[in-house]
Structure 1
Amino acid sequence: MKPLIHILGNGNVAQVLAVQLTNSGYSIQSVYARKKENANEIQTLTGAVVTDKISDIEKMQGIVFFALSDTATAEFCKRIKFKKDVLAVHTSGTLPDNLLAECSADYAVFYPFQSIHKTDEGNPFKGIPVGIYASKEESYQLLSNIAFSLSAEAFEITEKQRKVLHLSGVLSNNFTTFLINEAAQLLKINDLNPNLIAPLIKKTLNIPDFTKKQLPQTGPAIRNDKEIIREHLKLLEKDHNLSEVYEMLTKSIRLRIKDNSSQL
């Protein structure tokens, strides 16, 4: 028999988790939102009851997913004390493993390592890694089964490992997204089609097996082509922020080359 599930939050992770769990045969009993109208879409897609009352949270049974911002999760943990035995689970990449121990004796972490959006097509959990920590072995198995039902790949992770994994996501996804958007905007303001960079990006992101090799680094920084670097900085002289980013990344690439050479 599948456990009853409640979700706190109405953002991207909350909605996608609720919908995909429903599609996998789980019953979403209720969803908490600060404003009930903010969870109307989740209610329509899952049939869950929506509440905006803290007192309703304390009565929940089964599994309660805290799919909130880190600040809100920490705040709620101090305000509530579950009246029934529940498995309290947060989905953060950075909060402590035992944060929810204040509100439940049975607590865990269910960290989907992916950038998840409500507008994603299909099942955003399919094939993605989900890091799990649980205070009890049976809770770990329960969450592993949920990850399996979502077609995700569950693995056990420590608090430190999860924080490092989150950092790697910021470096590889958040910063990369910023750079791609800046590159597209640079083309646009110079009367070039921003889609011109699409084939290059696709080739760049043709990910190898990182346990065997890294992505090949190319460009003027790796060659230490100072003339081209100066020319690029001249083109960016009106964009102080992007110019600083260019110089910092160029310097970082050069330093990494020196570090790698010294280890040979």
Structure 2
Amino acid sequence: MADESVSKDHGRKRKSALAEMFAPVAGFGVSFSTMFRKVATEEYPEKPRPTQPRFHGRHQLNRHADGLEKCVGCELCAWACPADAILVEGADNDDTPLEQGGKGRFSPGERYGRVYQINYLRCIFCGLCIEACPTRALTMTNFYELADNDRGKLIFTKDQLLAPLHEGMLPPPFPMADGMEERDYYQGKVTGPTAAQRDHVAARDERVVVDESPLAHDEPGNIAASVPGEHDVVHTTAPTAAQTREGANP
């Protein structure tokens, strides 16, 4: 029995000695085990990684099928923003003829968003503004490359956030489609501009004078940029995904 006890003690001492000998390199076990694995490096910005379909990126102000803006200047998005990053100033649409000093119509209904700004230094991309919008005017794209070399240029203005005119759309201001009401627009009954709207825009453009244009309204631009409303650092105008998820859940 004594010999067996001595043998066990000798075995424990031997294991303890081995443990003490390899202790300094034991912490490198994870490093050694991963040294020969394939490295999964993302080659950004040469090969940007595609975002998820519901990614919360830069905002976009959408249009109706004829080109009128969906934003009605209600300011609900600004009230819902927990970071106080959104500034909206609404104004009344004016159906007075342009030759009589009218400013024109930019959206269906009574009002439109005359000023729209988002401060991306404050924005946390939570999507609460999207949920608060009653007209689905504001959605979020998959575009995320928002870095710049000037803090002032990260305050995006309406001209930067407004969706581009797709094929067939007309640039506002112009009257609503004949026989249509505001609710008809939001129910999708307007599928494109009418002949009367096209004629109105064509006649409007012929009357425009560069220095005394009745279409000019005092929307503040991006005062930090060399050209108001534009970036000195050029960003791509196309989101990283083709769909902006307009009409979908944020």
What's the TM-score once normalised by structure 2's chain length? 0.21
Larger RCO of the pair (alpha carbons < 8 Å, separation 6+): 2
Task: Please identify the structure whose Cα radius of gyration is greater.
Answer: 2
What's the TM-score once normalised by structure 1's chain length? 0.21
| Higher relative strand content | 1
| Higher relative helix content | 1
